Amino acid sequence: MGASGLGEQRQREKAEKADKGEQGERPGPQGLRELLERVRYEVLPAKATEEKVLAHVPRDVVVTVTASPVKGLDPTLDLTDRLAAHGYRVVPHVPARLLRDDAHLKDVVDRLREAGVDDVFVPAGDADPPAGPYEGALPVLRGLSELGELDEPGSPFTHVGITGYPESHPLIHDDVTIQAMWDKREHATYIVSNLCFDARVLGEWVGRIRAREVSLPVYVGVAGPVERAKLLSMATKIGVGESTRFLTKHASWFLRFATPGGYSPERLLARTEAALTAPGAGVAGLHLFTFNQIAETERWRRALLDRLGG
């Protein structure tokens, strides 16, 4: 075999080893330590969530509370009230498709401001059909800006998050989702990326949004160290109708979690470390999807920080 052929073979072997997780699995210390210290924990408003957060989550970790298309916004707002009273910085999800009308939006805003909330996350949501006139997030973001102008210019909240899609949305073309971020940028202060298990796709997506001059800081969505059995149990507990939707929508997640060696948050972070910490990437921190495995997620984060020297 010639020198060029041997070089090509070695390159292929190197790529295959990387794909199998046989190299490059340890994150670089400084950049990822900083990201792990700027985390947000996404939790579901289930019966035991408050107790789990109090037992395992430090007060300097931001807690975001999802909203259910089946149960509506009330469980989200109730848990937000309680966690905020305990001294947490809480970010409720306010999906556009769960809002009944402009009056409902104002009531939600007033309640959250009374609880001391200064940060909201506004996705479109999955409710089908929508509870009211809002099909997507942009009209709600505009409505927030209009409500804020009654007191002072801008949103009634200091921080407003919107969704980013590293992997293709099932119904929306990739260029459209990036254009949507551009359209929303004047009403938002940051982006939270949806789950992505492909290091290459995630890195390329960050580059693409920056190339399109979307300059909002990004919190990168990463699944925590999820156990498949507990994930199935959680899906069952959130309701029969919703669990069916959850399992159908995220079938590929279960395959990744169930396969031995199929998913490791540390391995994913190691493979994306260069892209996420590069100058100009604008990654503000990590948004960890706990799937309510809150104790396990915090133990994993602390152990990784210890290994990185934090």
CA distance 116 to 84: 7
Pairing of strands 39-43, 62-65: parallel
What CATH number does the domain containing 90 carry? Answer: 3.20.20.220
Question: Residue 97 falls within a domain, yes or no?
Answer: yes
- Quick check: is 2 in a domain? no
282 domain-assigned: yes
Cα torsion 194, 253, 249, 95: sign: negative
H-run or E-run covering 203:
helix 199-211
CB 45 within 8 A of CB 239: no
Asked, for residue 3, whether it belongs to a domain, the answer is: no
Q: Are 121 and 91 in contact (CB under 8 A)?
A: yes
Distance CA 207, CA 246 (A): 30
**Any domain includes 11:** no
Tell me the residue range of the domain where 72 lies: 27-308
Total number of domains in the chain: 1
As beta bridge partners, residue 164 has 193
Distance of CA 151 to the CA centre of its chain: 30
Decide if 174 is inside a domain: yes
CA distance 305 to 301: 6
Beta bridge partners of 62: 40
Residue at 184 is within a domain: yes
Q: How many residues does the chain have?
A: 310
Q: 220 lies in a domain?
A: yes
- What pTM was computed for the model? 0.82
DSSP state of 189: S
Residue 46, amino acid = A
Residue 216, Cα to own-chain centre: how many angstroms?
15
* pLDDT value of residue 70: 86
Contact partners, residue 239, CB within 8 Å, separation at least 6: 68, 70, 71
Residue 56, classified by CB atoms within 10 Å of its CB into exposed (0-12), middle (13-18) or buried (19+), is middle
Residue 242 near residue 68 (C-beta atoms within 8 A): yes
The upper half-sphere exposure of residue 164, i.e. CA atoms within 13 Å in the direction of its Cβ, equals 33
End-to-end CA distance of the chain: 47
Angle at 114 between CA 110 and CA 120, to 5 degrees: 65
Q: How far is CA 201 from CA 96, 160, 197, 245, 268, in A?
A: 27, 25, 8, 25, 11
**Side-chain-facing half-sphere of 180: CA atoms under 13 Å:** 20
Whether omega before 27 lies within 30 degrees of 0, making that bond cis, reads no
Could you read off the pLDDT tens digit of each residue along the chain, which spans 310 residues? 444 444 444 434 433 443 343 334 555 678 889 999 999 999 999 999 999 999 999 999 999 999 998 899 999 999 999 999 999 999 999 999 999 999 999 999 999 999 999 999 999 998 889 999 999 899 999 999 888 765 555 679 999 999 988 875 555 555 666 667 677 888 999 999 988 888 999 999 999 889 888 899 999 999 888 776 666 565 555 443 444 455 455 666 666 666 666 678 898 899 999 999 998 999 999 999 998 999 999 999 999 999 988 5
Could you tell me if 39 and 61 are in contact, meaning their C-beta atoms sit under 8 angstroms apart? Answer: yes
pLDDT of residue 147: 86
Q: Which residues pair with 43 in a beta bridge?
A: 65
C-alpha atoms less than 13 angstroms from C-alpha of 105 in its C-beta half-sphere: 25
